A and B are shown apart, each in its own frame.
Chain A
Amino acid sequence: MSATGIVSPRLRMPGPVRARRRTGRGLSWALVALVALLTLLAIFARLLAPYDPVQPIGALSLPPGSPDHLLGTDSIGRDLLSRTLYGIQVSWFAALVVVVSGLVIGGIIGTLAGVAGGFIDNLLMRFTDLFLALPGTLVAIAIVAALGYNLQNTLIGIGVVWWPYYARIIRGEVKALASRPHVEAARLAGAGPARIVFRHVLPGVIPTAIVTASLDIGNVVLLLAGLSFLGLGQPAPAPELGADTARNLGQLLTEPWIPLIPGLAVLLLSLVANLGGDGVRTLIGGRR
Chain B
Amino acid sequence: MTRFLLRRLGSAVVLILILSAVIFLLQSVSTADPVKAYLGANASPAAVAAARQSLGLDDPLPVRYVDFLTNLVQGDLGVSYRTHRPVVTDLQAFLPATMELVLWSFVIAVLLGGLFAVSGALRWRGSSIFRGPLLVLATAPPFLLALGGIVLFYAQLHILPANGRGPGETGPTGFLLIDTLVAGDPAGFASAAQHLLLPAVVLAIAPAIAIGRIMRSSLTNTLGADYVRTAESKGLTPFRVLGRHVVRNSLGPGLSMAGLQLGFMFAGVVVVEQIFSWPGIGNYLAASIPTSDFPAIAAVTLVLGTIYIVANALVDVLQAVADPRLSA
Contact = CB atoms under 8 A, between A and B. Distances in A.
Contact of B292 (A137, A141, A145, A226): A145
Interface stretch (A2-10, A56-64, A94-102): A2-10
Contacts of B191: none
A231 B326 contact: no
Contact of B217 (A17, A139, A222, A232): A17
Which 7 A-B pairs give the minimum distances between C-beta atoms?
A263-B144, A12-B210, A146-B26, A5-B316, A137-B267, A17-B217, A135-B308
A152 B30 CA distance: 16
B274 A9 contact: no
A2 B8 contact: yes
Interface string A253-275: 10010011001101100110010
A143 interface: yes
Contacts of B8: 2, 5
Interface in B31-84: 31-32
Given A139-B301, A226-B143, A146 B30 contact: yes
B139 interface: yes
Interface of A: 1-2, 4-7, 9, 11-12, 15-18, 20, 130, 133-139, 141-143, 145-149, 218, 222, 225-226, 229-232, 242, 245-246, 249, 252-253, 256, 259-260, 263-264, 266-267, 270-271, 274
A225 B142 CA distance: 10
A130 B17 CA distance: 11
Interface in B182-226: 209-210, 213-214, 216-217, 220
From A1, A136, A145, residue with most partner B Cβ within 10 Å: A145
Interface of B: 7-8, 11, 14-15, 18-19, 22-23, 26-27, 29-32, 136, 139-144, 147-148, 150-151, 155, 209-210, 213-214, 216-217, 220, 256-257, 260-261, 263-264, 266-268, 270-271, 274-275, 285-286, 289-290, 292, 294, 297-298, 300-301, 304-305, 308-309, 312, 315-316, 319, 326
Contact of B305 (A4, A135, A260): A135
B290 A231 contact: yes
A260 B148 CA distance: 8
26 contacts: A2-B8, A2-B11, A4-B316, A5-B319, A5-B326, A6-B312, A7-B256, A7-B260, A11-B260, A17-B214, A20-B217, A134-B18, A134-B305, A135-B301, A135-B304, A135-B308, A139-B19, A146-B32, A149-B292, A225-B143, A226-B142, A226-B270, A229-B271, A253-B151, A263-B140, A270-B139
Contact of A249 (B216, B275, B297): B275
